[in-house]
């Protein structure tokens, strides 16, 4: 590059208004006495003297200070044996310290033309390996390569402890027209805190955390932290290999939803939080005891306000520092995998908060969000909505999802608030939203994002799960994109959850008038791959705990809760239960305190815990409860019309037609003696589960060890059973294969 110095250019550099300092700094070809020469320039404002060191011969040449602000230049012969000059800078600081370092402006950029092209197209799936802060060694000099997308900034500086938060000598070079700023900073290591200082178009400056940063300070501090994610030695090869070769939807999926900060507490930890490694062993042992196949973690990306539960994310690529380091979290995931437990995380691409150090108006413009508040602000949560139509923003989000799957071996993502993404008029009145190009309410850009996310996630990581929290009747949420669907593996069945909880709140004597709330879910149970959730949303927001929502006196509340869980676990669909609900916690969930573990001193609460463990094991052991629970051929009503007795009964079937279970549920506190139930064939039926069992602190009414069906036709079937149905309970019977 042939560049001559100008006083105006140097002044703009010193003032911090020069858009691309690489125009002046580093090595440049110049004319010197009619001959071509090499001009090496450096801007080092806190230095006393600077020398140029020849990288091969260690020849030292003093650099001339040509501006009192700390601008230096040295004129050298052009190397004849190497097109790329090799040199270092020796700097004497004002405090007497002398250091040698690589000239950041002599280092070739880490981002290639192809990287920038793919990012501009919105299809650089591993852009997190380029943008952000990455350790790098250049000619034996260790340092960190910083890169950030801020196309409308006037200039960008890296600031941190390593330069006293004075970024004048770490002004980044700009890749035009990509709008990416990049700089190699030598002599810094992992653990350094940093931010970007951006000069905006109006001359003001803002300090921002790194959108692609891998780690951050503990809130309320907001600096990003340099982290190396490649140092952890994984030991889950067997799990990862098995996962890639299986269809997870044919397997049992019993999910335990966890908020890490309030599952268990440690008084010696920061704010009472436990470290990821501490949690790992206790949580895995607990999940194995209760038979859960997966844990689902509420958002673990960095968020400034703990009370948002993680759903107002600032650092999308940054693991929250509340519970430890990235390597600590990797240990948790690794330990889960080694013990046969999958790990899902909540992911929030629907909105982000307005915190000043975050994404909002990142470079002075509406970069990640929409400019128009009718598109860019969420009326319910006071947050910003991503501009899904911008290639770089879509790339940011999809790459973020893939990042968690790759770097942390996550087994799936539960996508939060999908409904708010799909509809342009979500929570908006007439005149408060902008229709799409066809005049409709569908957010076409968000649909494209979700489809592309699912396509890439499933193609690059076979065997993972993607789960949509989608509360409307949008068709094909969990159907392949090739068939017009959104491509999710599963969809939360919010209709089942709302109807069933509403039904369970009714006093038993009134349930006969609300029978359709119990049976309606089977009308739409199979167009989607459903997961049945009793999540944190059902035990927060002033709703109270699940046990407190049950009707009746104390005995009936526990019986109703056992009945609810038994019905849920035998209903078609995968299962999810929020922590604390498995021990019938009385208090509404509080993110700032741990679960009421002391309740386990009571038989009733221990009984609920035992029930959940047995239900989980039943689902895992019985193919009829998981093999085809997402297809209609796995379910068959026996009697859904007994409104007067508030009774339902049905058959669950495996792929083998001879392998089936009979389920009968009594939603009244009345014992039903001699209750006749039609079944497919005669023979002995073992009672393999009874929610009224003494083991669960029930009244122990039932049919143990089972009963025989004869060839008395009933319910349109050739044979029938005469059962004793316990009060507010579910029984499950299995025919003997020999009978």
The arrangement of secondary structure in 627-735, i.e. its CATH architecture, is Sandwich (2.60)
The string of pLDDT tens digits covering residues 233-263 is 999 999 999 999 999 999 999 999 999 999 9
Q: How confident is the model at residue 139 (pLDDT cuts 50, 70, 90)?
A: confident
* Architecture of the domain delimited by 254-490: Alpha-Beta Barrel (3.20)
User: What distance in Å separates the CA atoms of residue 83 and residue 438, rounded to the nearest whole number?
Assistant: 56
| Model pLDDT, residue 625 | 98
Residue 57 pLDDT:
56
Rounded to the nearest integer, the mean pLDDT of the chain is 94
Q: Choose the catalytic residue: 363, 411, 416, 687.
A: 416
What token pair was written down for 139? 């000619």
What's the 3-state SS for 231-246?
CCCCCCHHHHHHHHCC
Question: What pLDDT is stored for residue 224 in this prediction?
Answer: 98
How much is the pLDDT for 83? 56
Q: pTM score, two decimals?
A: 0.94
On whether the CB atoms of residues 569 and 576 are closer than 8 A, the answer is no
Phi then psi dihedrals of residue 498, to 5 deg: -65, -45
Instruction: Give the active site residue among 73, 257, 469, 499.
Output: 469
Residue 662 is predicted with a pLDDT of 98
Strand-strand pairing, 660-666 and 647-653? antiparallel
Q: How many CB atoms lie within 10 A of CB 311?
A: 18
Distance CA 521, CA 500 (A): 9
Could you tell me the CATH superfamily of domain 7-106? Immunoglobulins (2.60.40.10)
Radius of gyration of the chain (CA): 31
What are the sequence ranges of the domains in the chain? Answer: 7-106, 113-225, 254-490, 627-735
Which residues in 173-285 belong to E strands, given as ranges?
Answer: 173-175, 180-186, 193-199, 205-208, 224-225, 254-258
| pLDDT of 131 over the 60 cut | yes
Q: Decide if 7-106 and 113-225 have a common fold.
A: yes
- Classify each residue of 258-278 as buried b or exposed e, where b means 16 or more C-beta atoms within 10 Å of its C-beta: bbbbbbbbeeeeeeebbbbbb
Q: How many Cβ atoms from other residues are within 10 Å of residue 139's Cβ?
A: 12
Helix, strand or coil, per DSSP, at residue 62: strand
Q: Are strands 530-534 and 490-492 parallel, antiparallel or unpaired?
A: parallel
Strands 530-534 and 574-578 turn out to be parallel
551-583 exposure pattern, b = at least 16 Cβ within 10 A, e = fewer: beeeebbbbbbbbbbbbbbbbbbbbbbbbbbbb
Q: What's the pLDDT at 1?
A: 41
pLDDT in tens, 640-676: 999 999 999 999 999 998 999 999 999 999 999 999 9
Please determine, for residue 508, whether its predicted confidence score (pLDDT) is greater than 80: yes
Asked about 469 being catalytic, the answer comes back as yes
Query: Residue 307: its pLDDT value, please?
Result: 93
Q: Which tens digits make up the pLDDT trace of 50-108?
A: 999 986 657 789 999 999 889 999 998 876 655 567 889 999 988 888 989 999 999 99
CATH 2.60.40.10, domain 113-225, yes or no? yes
- N- to C-terminal Cα separation, the chain: 88
pLDDT of 2 strictly over 60: no
Task: Please report the pLDDT score of residue 85 as a whole number.
Answer: 72
In this model, does residue 117 exceed pLDDT 60?
yes
Q: Is the dihedral of CA 294, 296, 297, 301 positive or negative?
A: positive
582 assigned to active site: no
Percent of the chain as helix, strand, coil, to the nearest 5: 30, 30, 40
SS3 3: coil
pLDDT at 630 over 70: yes
């Amino acid at each position: 590059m042939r560049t001559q110095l100008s006083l105006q250019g140097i002044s703009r550099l010193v003032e911090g208004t020069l858009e691309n300092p690489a125009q002046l700094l580093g090595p440049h070809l110049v004319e010197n006495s009619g001959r071509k020469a090499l001009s090496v320039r450096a801007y080092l404002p806190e230095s006393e003297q600077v020398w140029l060191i020849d990288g091969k011969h260690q020849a030292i040449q003093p650099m001339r200070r040509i501006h009192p602000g700390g601008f230096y230049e040295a004129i050298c012969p052009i190397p004849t044996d190497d097109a790329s000059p090799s040199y270092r800078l020796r700097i004497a600081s004002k405090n007497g310290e002398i250091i040698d370092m690589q000239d950041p402006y002599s280092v070739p950029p880490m981002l290639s033309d192809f990287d920038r092209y793919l990012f501009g197209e919105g299809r650089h799936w591993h852009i997190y390996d380029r943008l952000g802060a990455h350790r790098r060694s250049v000619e034996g000099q260790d340092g960190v390569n910083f890169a950030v997308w801020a196309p409308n900034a006037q200039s960008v500086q890296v600031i941190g402890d390593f330069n006293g938060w004075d970024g004048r000598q770490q002004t980044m070079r700009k890749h035009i027209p990509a709008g990416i700023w990049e700089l190699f900073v030598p002599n810094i290591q992992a653990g350094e805190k940093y931010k970007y200082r951006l000069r905006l178009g109006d001359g003001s400056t803002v300090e921002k955390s790194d959108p692609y940063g891998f780690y951050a300070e503990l809130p309320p501090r907001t600096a990003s932290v340099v982290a190396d994610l490649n140092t952890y030695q994984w030991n889950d090869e067997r799990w990862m290999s098995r996962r890639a070769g299986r269809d997870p939807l044919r397997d049992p999926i019993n999910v335990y939803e966890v908020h890490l900060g309030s599952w268990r507490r440690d008084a010696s930890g920061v704010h009472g939080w436990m470290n990821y490694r501490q949690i790992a062993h206790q949580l895995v042992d607990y999940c194995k005891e209760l038979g859960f196949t997966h844990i689902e973690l509420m958002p673990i990306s960095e968020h400034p306000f703990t009370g948002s539960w993680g759903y107002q994310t600032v650092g999308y690529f940054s693991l929250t520092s509340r519970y430890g380091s990235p390597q600590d979290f990797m240990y948790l995931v690794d330990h889960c995998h080694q013990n046969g437990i999958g790990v899902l995380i909540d992911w929030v691409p629907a909105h982000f908060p307005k915190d000043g150090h975050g994404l909002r108006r990142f470079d002075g413009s509406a970069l990640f969000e929409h400019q128009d508040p009718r598109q860019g602000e969420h009326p319910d949560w006071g947050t910003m909505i991503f501009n899904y139509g911008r290639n770089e923003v879509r790339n940011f989000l999809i790459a973020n999802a893939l990042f968690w799957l790759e770097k942390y071996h996550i087994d799936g993502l539960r996508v939060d608030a999908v409904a708010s993404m799909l509809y342009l008029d979500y929570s908006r009145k007439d005149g408060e939203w902008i229709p799409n190009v066809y005049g409709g309410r569908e957010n076409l850009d968000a649909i494209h994002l979700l489809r592309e996310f699912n396509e890439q996630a499933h193609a690059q990581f076979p065997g993972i799960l993607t789960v949509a929290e989608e509360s409307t009747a949008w068709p094909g949420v969990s159907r392949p994109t090739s068939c017009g669907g959104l491509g999710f593996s599963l969809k939360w069945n919010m209709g089942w959850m709302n109807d069933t909880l509403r039904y369970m709140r009714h006093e038993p004597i009134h349930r006969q008038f609300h029978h359709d709330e119990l049976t309606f879910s089977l009308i739409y149970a199979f167009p989607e791959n459903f997961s049945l959730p009793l999540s944190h949303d059902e035990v927060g927001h002033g709703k109270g705990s699940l046990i407190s929502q049950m009707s009746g006196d104390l005995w009936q509340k526990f019986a109703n809760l056992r009945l609810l869980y038994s019905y849920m676990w035998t209903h078609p669909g995968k299962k999810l239960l929020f922590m604390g609900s498995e021990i019938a916690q009385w208090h509404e969930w509080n993110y700032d305190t741990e679960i009421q573990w002391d309740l386990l001193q009571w038989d009733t609460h221990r009984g609920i815990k035992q029930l959940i463990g047995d239900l989980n094991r039943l689902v895992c052991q019985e193919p009829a409860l998981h093999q085809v629970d997402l297809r209609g051929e796995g379910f068959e009503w026996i009697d859904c019309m007994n409104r007067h007795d508030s009774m339902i009964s049905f058959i669950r079937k495996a792929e083998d037609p001879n392998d089936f279970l009979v389920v009968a549920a009594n939603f009244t506190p009345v014992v039903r003696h001699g209750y006749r139930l039609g079944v497919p064939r005669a023979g002995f039926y073992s009672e393999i589960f009874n929610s009224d069992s003494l083991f669960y602190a029930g009244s122990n009414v039932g049919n143990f060890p089972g009963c025989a069906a004869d060839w008395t036709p009933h319910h349109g079937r050739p044979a029938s059973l005469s059962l004793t149905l316990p009060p507010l309970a579910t029984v499950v019977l299995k025919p003997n294969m020999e009978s």
